[in-house]
Structure 1
């Protein structure tokens, strides 16, 4: 396991591998940072946005697409410290006070998906919604509503199954949907994994070539792998108490990056907020660039 020693995130989220650049990207939400790691040189750097960045995905025309506090944005990152951001879309009624986008990624066809959440998790307000964005149709109406803490978006290798979790302590659920790859519409929502009896909460996720769903067990210091039929078949221990999201990358897509959140607990003081790279003995599926 390799730790990126010069990186500490308050809320490290949304790791993603950009194969064309040979680089990893991820975000630190409250610090409004977009991080980058050059895999060849090991050099890290970050840019600071004008508002919180919750999730990112590479765009086919360069730069990133991001779910942020007030909407969906295109981000341009130059060689200096500047970050240019351009709003692409937002819900017609706005996100509302105390809301922001959270977890997000592209489907296998290059459409961007992201959901919203009420930032004060203690309030347990089920007002989060899940949206799709593409250049031809713009931002969709919500496909899923009444979410507490939207998370865990992932798509099966063939793109025909979409996964979604709610990581709030009061929900702890992962769902699967049938996914129409032509129209980008999910249907037939069903429980994939009920994690209410587990110590960890189902946070960010990734998919391997066997179609298994890898999800961070937030509060339990682990990454869990579920088979396509929802069976838990592996537990991978990590040193951070609150792993937040994982992603496959590297030249052979066999490296797993895991970001984390500072818990504030004494036993987590050394590793909380760390970003680690490890070899889990599995291979991921290449992410599709946003079809700009």
Structure 2
């Protein structure tokens, strides 16, 4: 079950404080991700090791591209349409905003379902409060932000969909929760149905952070605080465990020309950081990933 697979540290990507939301762009041969406290989106061309970054007025937590290469991003105050230029300048326009039930909140983890609707959750940034004010929202192809679809979340994470789009995965990575749920999902209406516990990480190691699903339908989660990647079968059985050099892996995404490279962002803690914490890593886990869908709507030019 444990696999001795070497993870390569990609120094050209730079070192983040909270690296999150890796997104592979096949047409560019590039990986994008965010550094949340730095309020940046970062881009790395894998072959040339050329790095770019764009700064924003708010923290960026999650994002997706549309077919035209524009970006929809979940930030502190809402959903934004973003245009990234080649000169490190980014323009953003607010598209929608939830009514936050508490102060100090922002969007967190987000991904598109197989039909191209962007889903993103919110959280109270001060995790010591353990506030269940977070919720999961759907930003549809028409640019409409839903009411809370799933509420009572402390630290929302782990969004992913099965290959057929009929199972939605969601986790809560707060130390008091450490749960991954699976929902029956109606791909036509974008509605999650019955919820069940898919994996309880109190029985394993670490906290379930960002995730990805491979072509076999298995769910990969970053075991934050444990320096591990864990793969669960569609039946919720742990069948792979890969050790990483960094202690706090945060999110993973498949990329490369054949979607056989797994990219992993990491967090650099404020204290007791290792020399690897905060860097981007790449590894070949021996399985193929699935292309992440673009956002299906038409975003305005920011």
Q: TM-score, normalised by structure 2?
A: 0.93
What is the deviation of 1:289? 0.5
Report the Cα distance in structure 1 between the residues aligned to 2:204 and 2:129, rounded to whole angstroms.
22
2:214 corresponds to: 208
Structure 1 moving runs of 4+ over 3 Å: none
2:89 maps to 82
Query: Does 2:264 match 1:276?
Result: no
Deviations 1:236-286 (A, max 9, x none): 1100000000100111000011001112444x4201101111111111011
Q: Partners in 1 of 2:133 and 2:204 — Cα distance? A: 24
Task: Give the drift of 1:94.
Answer: 4.1
- What is the aligned partner in structure 2 of residue 106 from structure 1? 112
Superposed CA deviations along residues 147-180 of structure 1, whole A, max 9, x for unmatched, are: 0000000000111100000000000000000111
CA deviation profile, 1:69-124 (whole Å, cap 9, x unmatched): 01111111101021111111111x24642000000010000000000000000010
- Secondary structure, in 3 states, of the residue corresponding to 2:202? coil
Task: Show the counterpart of 1:256.
Answer: 262
- Conservation of the 8 A alpha-carbon contact between 1:256 and 1:280: yes
- Residue number among 119, 131, 154 corresponding to 2:125 in the alignment: 119
Selected match of 2:73 from 61, 66, 70: 66
Residue 70 of structure 1 contacts residue 95 of structure 1 at CA under 8 Å; is this kept in 2? no
CA contact 1:195–1:201 (8 Å) conserved in 2: yes
Query: RMSD between aligned alpha carbons?
Result: 1.2
SS across alignment from 1:20 = coil
State the structure with bigger RCO (CA 8 A, min sep 6), 1 or 2.
2
- Residue 33 of structure 1 corresponds to which residue in structure 2? 40
Q: Does 1:290 align with 2:295?
A: yes
Secondary structure at the counterpart of residue 122 of structure 1: helix
Contact 1:110–1:291 under 8 Å retained in 2: yes
Q: Deviations over 1:26-52 (max 9, x none)?
A: 000000010001123221111111100
What runs of 5+ residues in structure 2 fail to find an aligned partner?
1-6, 298-302
Q: Give the whole-Å Cα distance in 1 for the aligned partners of 2:63 and 2:134.
A: 19
- Asked whether 1:160 is paired with 2:166, we answer yes
* 1:208-228 C-alpha deviation (Å, 9 max, x unpaired): 000000000000000000000
Question: Is the 8 Å Cα contact of residues 152 and 202 (structure 1) preserved in structure 2?
Answer: yes
1:218–1:242 contact (8 Å) kept in structure 2 = yes
